[in-house]
Amino acid sequence: MKTIPLSKYLEKHGTQAALAAALGVNQSAISQMVRSGRSIEITIFTDGRIEANELRPIPARPKKSAA
């Protein structure tokens, strides 16, 4: 099993379209992930499966301050 950032995966392993097909999403979803700068890691399993996970703080959305 190997985990690498989304941008590094695309540099070394292929196109947005190929990654989208492997993950079962549209290419536009991959493009949006790249443009937004989200912290997404791609896991490549020894059997060839690919999985994507986003790392983000909990809670993900900041609380509204009392005014």
pTM: 0.77
Q: For residue 47, what are the domain limits?
A: 2-54
Asked if residue 59 belongs to a domain, the reply is no
Q: Is the dihedral of CA 31, 49, 58, 10 positive or negative?
A: negative
Asked if residue 6 belongs to a domain, the reply is yes
CB 31 within 8 A of CB 17: no
Asked if residue 60 belongs to a domain, the reply is no
Asked if residue 67 belongs to a domain, the reply is no
Q: How many domains does the chain fold into? A: 1
Q: What is the pLDDT of residues 28-37, one digit of tens each?
A: 999 999 999 8
Residue 60 reports pLDDT greater than 90:
no
What's the CATH code of the domain at 20?
A: 3.30.240.10
